[in-house]
Structure 1
Amino acid sequence: MRDHETLPRLPANHVPLTPLSFLLRSARVYPNRVAVIHGARRFAYAEMLARCRRLASALAAAGIEPGDTVSVLAPNIPEMLEAHYGVPMAGAVLNTINIRLDAPAVGFILRHSSARALVVDREWGAVARAALAEMPEPKPFVVEIADPEAPTAGEAIGGTEYEAFLATGDAATPGRMPADEWESIALSYTSGTTGDPKGVVTHHRGAYLNACGNALAFGLSPESVYLWTLPMFHCNGWTYTWAVTLQGGTHVCLRRVEPAAIFAAVAEHGVTHMCAAPVVLTMLIHAPAEQRQAFSQTCRIATGGAAPPSAVIARMEGLGFAVTHLYGLTECYGPATICMPQPGLDALPLEERAAFMARQGVNHPTLEEAAVLDPDTMRPVPADGVTLGEVMLRGNTVMKGYLRNPAATEAAFAGGWFHTGDLGVTHPDGYIEVKDRAKDIVISGGENVSTLEVEEVLYAHPAIMEAAVVARPDPKWGEVPHAFVTPSPGAAGAALTEAEVVAWCRARLAGFKAPKGVTFGPLPKTSTGKIQKYELRQRLHDGGAEG
């Protein structure tokens, strides 16, 4: 053995990575800087640390032990942010629950996660009460949030009020730091569009690294003001709950994601960064003039999910937002790839620049590798921008696995990579572009049709607000593309016809890629705002897709 390999690992030279350290540092370096804004409330970093320590102390005094699960059902409010520090400071695992779920789904999560405590905003008191009613004993103890910014008083369900619970804790108690960075920090549940959702378990090391990658890739700094339009319940806010604190930036909480509130917050607080699903971008673009407010700064907005169509990127820039495209899943803490700009990009015509920015890009700074592989051979596909493969990931920011689901965990990690289930290509410059979910690709007469490519063309139409394309069974071609379209508000949208939509696509796509039919109306979405293509396919199967 080489001499250098015999040097010891000691407390002086090895400390488990945890994002809890970010709050300790910012409270020391920026004690009086505003950490949290929520309505009239303001918390400096020193106070934020004290509140989180009280929460951890109170949880421990109430019987929460290391490894226990603490669930939170709340919107983007300070208490939800505090849970991202206070719960793991107690050694517990944070389970943030989607506030759009119904009582049976919430009940499933509470049972499957073996939740020992539930922190709930009273606006969701009725949902929590119904979910808890179906749980066996011992039920989790309840802490209730009475947010002064809530639209109604909500429903009290007999738990301890949050501020009273905090008062039972001790801010002088430092809290528990993990002995091992592989310890679980959070448990997030997937959307569960088919069957029960899966519980994604993540660790302190991955949360620390992904937060560092977010701060680096998105340009966060101590001057950053981050608006919480992305749900904190969605894979821990893509770890921005920790990333903003890492840099000592300001968290601006937003209880409801509405255009008027977003524009007002950006203008009033000088918001510099925010994240959102594509549906929020669409919402901002089509907001009535009276809901918009001008602001002088450029606000960087990162969006995930399906690639934002070029037209959406262009319109967002016109409103003062600079769009960054990210790609990821709950299983990789949120962002896994980012479309990094290249020198000279700003000089390109807007259409070319927007087309480049719609790619999913390259691996996140703290993800080891993202690649498009042939799932049969596990070899990279040619970097020709054409050959389809599956997007796969590996690195320290990939989940530990699925809770109590060894079969799904083994399948997800087959061959030493995490299988995303997304189909994509690698361009000659090495950038990845997702073409479709494996289940969403349309195979028409033996030709692959990317529904995302067709949707890109549809979104470019000035009278189309939202669009989704799925496969429709066809006796001749096997299946053909069918478009579901939500027209834009106003006269142009009201006058939109199927013939006009099909002609628009045929003028911009190969004939076999153009939709063979169009259905008009609102699109069904999951609780996280993703369009439910499986429901659209079912409508076609049931014969209910007449426009």
Structure 2
Amino acid sequence: MHSSFDALAPVLAHARTGAELLVVAAGRLGSDLLDELRADGFTVAGTSGAPARAPEDGRLWLLTSGSTGRPKRIGHTLSSLTTVSGPLPARRWLCPYSPGTYAWWQVVTLALGTPGQDLVVVDPADLDGWVDAGVEYGVTAASGTPTFWRRTIMADRERLAEVPLEQITVGGEPVDQAVLDQLRDVFPEARISWIYASSEVGASIVVHDGRAGFPVEWLERRVEGRPVLGVEDGELVVSSPHHGAGLAGAVRTGDAVVIEDGRVLITGRLDSDEINVGGAKVSAGVVRDVLHSHPKVAWAHVRGRRSPLVGSLVVADVVLDSGAVDDPATEAELGRWCRERLPEPGVPRRIRLLAAIPAKETLKSDV
């Protein structure tokens, strides 16, 4: 599909008929993926030469974001994707996600399956205009990644405050305290929630208390109909009733966690979060969160760079808040900020200042 709006018609057809369906944004459908889908028996709308096979009744397929490699297909149904139950206050939701992603399906199934939930769709390619659309159409609820919210606050903070938001949801990337606090400053009366969800384990964690992380008491808590959360070797493990097909039991998510002050904080992907600096283990996510806590920083990305002496060094890319243009932070100032809050191995040895927050169609940082 070329747009979220056009994708709603086949979704409605699936809801009515149960026809097997995979929705994918046109920009993601490269030749390799097209060949793969055809080889697996999919008929790809708008193309020719697709082989036939018997469809699996009621099956919905999602493509993972591909942030850790080639996108994978995860099998779901409308039932496993519809994770919100019970009455909700009437709201008008903004859906800025790419068609067919898990987050897109979450908002779309909410609008389809729950009375009083309207939908305003904005395509990722047209995101620069979403704030004006939010004001014009009276959007009262919006879901987006931390990168999405940081970019919007940086570009259009005053206009953003005119959107009548009552519910703000943040997810898709590690959610730190800084972005929650920034949203609270703009929308002091809104309910601000962060959510952990994925194509594999569904919507597994929802937190409404305005704090990053979730209470450590939630680990191994067993409540009927809810996921069971665990930590093994610093990795989040989830047993979920909303998991994709073939993923029963405990699923290792690949996400790194740390436990601080009674909260379980998700810091990033396990394969990229740990940086070995001369034998000391440094969490890139922890360093990133320290940079995000600086009042002049809008966004930061932290990674390891190879070093012949110590294995790796910590380096960072930073985008300064547009409001700090008259008194911008310097690399030296940010270095001091980190040294006061981090052990020596975690202090970035190089900080590169970027002009804009990078992002891709998944609304995540393009790094």
TM interval, short-chain normalised: 0.7 to 0.9
Counterpart secondary structure, 2:271: coil
Q: Quote how far apart the aligned CAs of 1:192 are.
A: 2.7
Change (3 A) 1:456 1:200: same
Change (3 A) 1:194 1:453: closer
Paired residues for 1:383-402 under 5 Å: 389-401=234-246
Deviation string 1:271-294 (CA, Å, 9 cap, x unpaired) is 221111112101221124675462
Mapped partners of 2:226, 2:169: distance in 1 = 18
Deviation string 1:172-218 (CA, Å, 9 cap, x unpaired) is xxxxxxxxxx965311112334653211111344224x243xxx6xx
List 4+ stretches of structure 1 deviating above 6 A: none
Counterpart secondary structure, 1:281: helix
CA contact (8 A) 2:148 2:364 kept: no
Map of 2:213 onto structure 1: 359
Q: Quote how far apart the aligned CAs of 1:337 are.
A: 0.9
The answer on 1:502 being equivalent to 2:335 is yes
CA contact (8 A) 2:81 2:105 kept: no
Change (3 A) 1:390 1:290: closer
Mapped partners of 2:194, 2:297: distance in 1 = 21
- Higher alpha-carbon Rg: 1
Change (3 A) 1:299 1:283: farther
Change (3 A) 1:510 1:428: closer
Q: In structure 2, list runs of 5 or more residues that go unmatched.
A: none
CA contact (8 A) 2:287 2:347 kept: yes
Mapped partners of 1:100, 1:365: distance in 2 = 40
Change (3 A) 1:195 1:298: closer
Paired residues for 1:126-525 under 5 Å: 132=47, 137-138=49-50, 184-193=58-67, 195-208=69-82, 210-212=83-85, 220-221=88-89, 223-235=90-102, 237-248=104-115, 249-256=117-124, 261-288=129-156, 291-292=159-160, 294-295=162-163, 297-320=164-187, 321-333=190-202, 335-341=203-209, 357-360=211-214, 362=218, 366-374=225-233, 389-401=234-246, 416-426=249-259, 432-440=264-272, 441-489=274-322, 492=325, 495-521=328-354, 525=359
Paired AA for residue 435 in structure 1: T
Counterpart secondary structure, 2:4: coil
The number of residues matched between the two structures is 355
Map of 1:530 onto structure 2: 364
CA contact (8 A) 1:471 1:479 kept: yes
TM normalised by structure 2 equals: 0.82
Map of 1:49 onto structure 2: none
Paired AA for residue 306 in structure 2: P
Deviation string 1:212-251 (CA, Å, 9 cap, x unpaired) is 3xxx6xx833x22112123342126242212233321212
Q: Quote how far apart the aligned CAs of 1:524 are.
A: 5.5
Mapped partners of 1:298, 1:277: distance in 2 = 16
CA contact (8 A) 2:204 2:227 kept: no
Q: Quote how far apart the aligned CAs of 1:254 are.
A: 2.4
Change (3 A) 1:360 1:189: farther
Identity between Structure 1 and Structure 2 (%): 21
Q: In structure 1, list runs of 5 or more residues that go unmatched.
A: 1-72, 120-131, 141-181, 342-353, 375-388, 402-411, 534-547
Change (3 A) 1:112 1:502: farther
CA contact (8 A) 1:267 1:293 kept: no
Counterpart secondary structure, 1:287: helix
Q: Which has the higher strand share?
A: 2
Mapped partners of 1:232, 1:365: distance in 2 = 31
Change (3 A) 1:532 1:328: same
